[in-house]
Structure 1
Amino acid sequence: MLQSTIKHIIFLLSSQHQNKLLPTLKNLVCYIVACCFGTLALHSQTPTSTDNAKPEHTYLGAKLHGGIVVPHHVNMMYFIEDFSGGLELTYSRALFSPDSWESYFNYPEIGLGFYYGTFGNKDIFGSGIAIYPFINYNIHRSPKLSIKNRVSMGIGYATKPFDIETNTYNTVFSSHLNAYIGLDISLDYRISNRFSLALSATLTHLSNGAARKPNHGVNTFTAGFGTKYHFNEALTPILAQTTPPNSEHREIIIVGSVGRSQSTPYNTTLYWNGSLSINHLWYLNEKRAIGLGYDQFYSETAPHSWEAYEDSNGDIQFSSRHYLFNALFASYNVFLGKTTLFVNIGAYLHTNIDPPQPVYPRMGIRHYLGKNLIANFSVKASFFRSEFLEFGLGYRINYKRDKQ
């Protein structure tokens, strides 16, 4: 069965536009299989100690994936002809130090991943490539067995997007460049001093966030099987999770962001979008914070997508007053060292056009480039659909610090 699965995945990788990648990918497949079945013979010695003078454990992982495309639009069901297959490579590390921010999250594993996958019809949907950072949260951890759930977000590339002349059946994505989101449950079992067997169940989503339309996005659900190489021979340390100290820290985050998007499949113009966001954060502890803030939006896309533009016969004219609207929002923030994950729920205060709903979600990631300078990536949405992706810079103002 494994042999037929490998042949099937190699076949899926063999379309004409992938000829240059095929030899490399075939070699990677062979490497994974060799690692999985050769480790017991080549590395029969199993580790017996969790003593470790070096608290940082680093890993190199490889998996084969097989599963299905999950059609969430009716028209996709007619074109899915095959299973979804994929190949995943990861490099990661876990820091087992009670003094690190990881101790507040039960010592998660963070890393960088590469994924190559197919979408059930190579002629219409092609295949996808993604590069992404990720974090693995521990559900269960023992010296040899780890069960984790992973969250990842990165950049994806689709090989065959929608084309008005050559590929009109692909309503999944209309651009090569996309955003990638992945969720999975994984199990690792240590079988030698250097290797673990790795199993996973993974849900992925690839979409351009309405930068180009049509943009239904594509979801895959796959099972993964592979191996994980341990650069550190010691077993996984078992340390108690550290309770983060309470905090009275207060700060103000000011972020400006811009992005471009297409309003409807029938209007191919790319419009500019921008926002100024001011967020006051109350730290609950060194792990989390809540906030209240103000959003000022400028969106040339909104009037065309919020209003029934295609029903207006193109006669409606919009001006700058239609592009401006504002809102108040509440935020929830999780701190991972220099990186912050955030989710905002906002309510519009004033608009000159009717929004799809009176409230909106916004989620993203911020990373500190220095002490106070911030890089921002986020998604502005209406419920159940993305409006635009945005990139920006911001600044943090600390006005109340914890007493040392």
Structure 2
Amino acid sequence: MTFPLLPDFLSFLRMCGAACLPPLLAATPVAAQVPVRADSLPGGLAPPAPLIIGAYAQGSFLLDHTYAVQHLVRAHPTGFELNVQRQTTGRQPWHGWYKFPKVGLALVYYNYHNPTLGRSYAASLYLSKSFWRTDRHDLSFRLGTGLAYLTNPYDQQTNHKNTIASSALNATLQLRLEYDQALTERLGLLLGLGLNHYSNGATTKPNFGANLPTLVLGLNYHQRRPAPLGAAPAPAPADVGHYFFNLSTSLGFKQRNESDQTKYAVNSVTAAAGRRLNRKSNLVLGLEGFYDRSLQATLRDTAQDRRQLPDVRKAGAFLGHELLFGRLAFVSHLGFYLYNPYKSNKFYYERLGLKYHFTSRLFGSVDLKVHRGAADVIEFRAGVKW
């Protein structure tokens, strides 16, 4: 599960130089501020987007979600996070459609206090949406994804007890409910309850993944509080109600088991038709074909008669939804196999991913294909839309 670009994030990074670092914090009472509205600025421009810089301590435990990881649940991992986020103010139409979320970058360190697991270092991009926001309070939900480096992955000779991850490089997923209480005009106390997940998407095995329910406590520095927000949301885009077509292909790699270290290529070809339902959503219906070379290797190992092996290629149909954030979309599909001679899995599959439009025609995505909750393969996809 890897991993994304967010709209206007390049400009976000360009603006986050050393000049953005806060001065020494002053303990002053919170002063009421009147938010600047976009319609009060020259030309109706959106106000500048202020920064929020955070430092948090994290306490957690390893969830024994399967018997294969129960022997690793021996200590309570502890971690530390540094993050920087920018409050959207309406410079892009989708900012107002989602009621001005925050866009952020987080760096997370964990010590698992277990020599089998070691430590992890992760970087993730995230989106934080407020449900209740006043001058002094902010209750929000955060969703992020990125990459993680684990120091002690599985090794058949030296670290065979680590069934959580067999590769150093993994994907990470963060879910978190956060509450920020103003202490001073700039300083806020952050309390959070979340879940950190680490997995390599079955690229190598074993891969049972790490699930870390987490309690978070820390401080936020607000460049401006309350943040200035834009005017009313922009009108719906012109393509609402219009149909479109996608043609794409993907490539992924997977390992069969711990004893076979070969990385087998997995390909797919997809043709889909869709309709933009509203400002936030696309509905998609498609047909696709799959060729998983690891199934051919498994079949040859297990078949009694190799002269008449079933076809390992598969074909399916799917219904999907795309949640839109400007050029970025969160993709979710539910598919059913229509052609499946070699019954290596259930008759249905799921897909979760992040899709980014480089132009109005060309797009790329990183998807995780899943069978009944178990990761099957990470797909790197490229396609064209018309």
TM-score range, shorter chain: 0.7 to 0.9
What amino acid does structure 1 have at the position aligned with 2:33?
Answer: S
Report what 1:46 is aligned to: 30
**Residue 58 of structure 1 contacts residue 230 of structure 1 at CA under 8 Å; is this kept in 2?**
yes
- More displaced 10-residue stretch of structure 1: 95-104 or 130-139: 95-104
Q: Following superposition, which runs of at least 4 residues in structure 1 exceed 6 angstroms of deviation? A: 238-241, 318-321
What are the superposed Cα offsets for residues 369-404 of structure 1, whole Å, 9 maximum, x if unpaired?
Answer: 22322121001111121111111221111xxxxxxx
What are the superposed Cα offsets for residues 221-257 of structure 1, whole Å, 9 maximum, x if unpaired?
Answer: 11111111222x2413477874963821221122211
Q: How far apart, CA to CA, are the structure 1 residues paired with 2:175 and 2:197?
A: 9
What amino acid does structure 2 have at the position aligned with 1:282?
Answer: R
- Identify the match of residue 224 of structure 1 among 216, 224, 230: 216
Using a 3 Å threshold, how does the CA distance of structure 1 residues 364 and 87 change in structure 2: closer, same or farther? Answer: same
Task: Give secondary structure in 2 for the equivalent of 1:70.
Answer: coil
Using a 3 Å threshold, how does the CA distance of structure 1 residues 98 and 155 change in structure 2: closer, same or farther? Answer: closer
Deviation at 1:347, TM superposition (A): 0.6
Q: How far apart, CA to CA, are the structure 2 residues paired with 1:72 and 1:244?
A: 45
**Residue 272 of structure 2 contacts residue 287 of structure 2 at CA under 8 Å; is this kept in 1?**
yes
- More displaced 10-residue stretch of structure 1: 73-82 or 221-230: 73-82
Provide the TM-score with structure 1 as the length reference.
0.81
Number of matched residues? 353
What amino acid does structure 1 have at the position aligned with 2:262?
Answer: T
Task: Give secondary structure in 1 for the equivalent of 2:96.
Answer: helix
RMSD: 2.5
Task: Give secondary structure in 2 for the equivalent of 1:301.
Answer: helix
What are the superposed Cα offsets for residues 77-130 of structure 1, whole Å, 9 maximum, x if unpaired?
Answer: 223321111111112112222862111112111121111113351x10111111
Q: How far apart, CA to CA, are the structure 1 residues paired with 2:130 and 2:194?
A: 16
Task: Give secondary structure in 1 for the equivalent of 2:109.
Answer: strand
What amino acid does structure 2 have at the position aligned with 1:115?
Answer: V
Q: How far apart, CA to CA, are the structure 2 residues paired with 1:389 and 1:318?
A: 32
Deviation at 1:328, TM superposition (A): 0.5
Using a 3 Å threshold, how does the CA distance of structure 1 residues 46 and 376 change in structure 2: closer, same or farther? Answer: same
Deviation at 1:303, TM superposition (A): 4.6
Q: How far apart, CA to CA, are the structure 2 residues paired with 1:87 and 1:46?
A: 27
Residues 259-278 of structure 1 aligned to structure 2 (within 5 Å): 259-278=252-271
Using a 3 Å threshold, how does the CA distance of structure 1 residues 147 and 324 change in structure 2: closer, same or farther? Answer: same
Q: How far apart, CA to CA, are the structure 1 residues paired with 2:331 and 2:212?
A: 25
**Residue 128 of structure 2 contacts residue 140 of structure 2 at CA under 8 Å; is this kept in 1?**
yes
**Residue 142 of structure 1 contacts residue 236 of structure 1 at CA under 8 Å; is this kept in 2?**
no
What amino acid does structure 1 have at the position aligned with 2:200?
Answer: N
Deviation at 1:321, TM superposition (A): 7.2
What amino acid does structure 1 have at the position aligned with 2:382?
Answer: L
Using a 3 Å threshold, how does the CA distance of structure 1 residues 304 and 216 change in structure 2: closer, same or farther? Answer: farther
Report what 1:92 is aligned to: 85
Report what 1:367 is aligned to: 356
Gaps of 5+ in 1: 1-34, 398-404
Q: Give yes or no for the alignment of 1:116 onto 2:116.
A: no
Q: How far apart, CA to CA, are the structure 2 residues paired with 1:350 and 1:211?
A: 25
What amino acid does structure 1 have at the position aligned with 2:380?
Answer: F
Q: Give yes or no for the alignment of 1:357 onto 2:346.
A: yes
**Residue 126 of structure 2 contacts residue 145 of structure 2 at CA under 8 Å; is this kept in 1?**
yes
Considering Cα pairs closer than 8 Å and 6+ residues apart, tell me whether 1 or 2 has the greater RCO: 2
- Identify the match of residue 335 of structure 2 among 346, 370, 374: 346
- Identify the match of residue 59 of structure 1 among 52, 74, 99: 52
**Residue 84 of structure 1 contacts residue 222 of structure 1 at CA under 8 Å; is this kept in 2?**
no
What amino acid does structure 1 have at the position aligned with 2:227?
Answer: T
Q: How far apart, CA to CA, are the structure 2 residues paired with 1:345 and 1:318?
A: 35
Percent identical pairs in the alignment equals 24
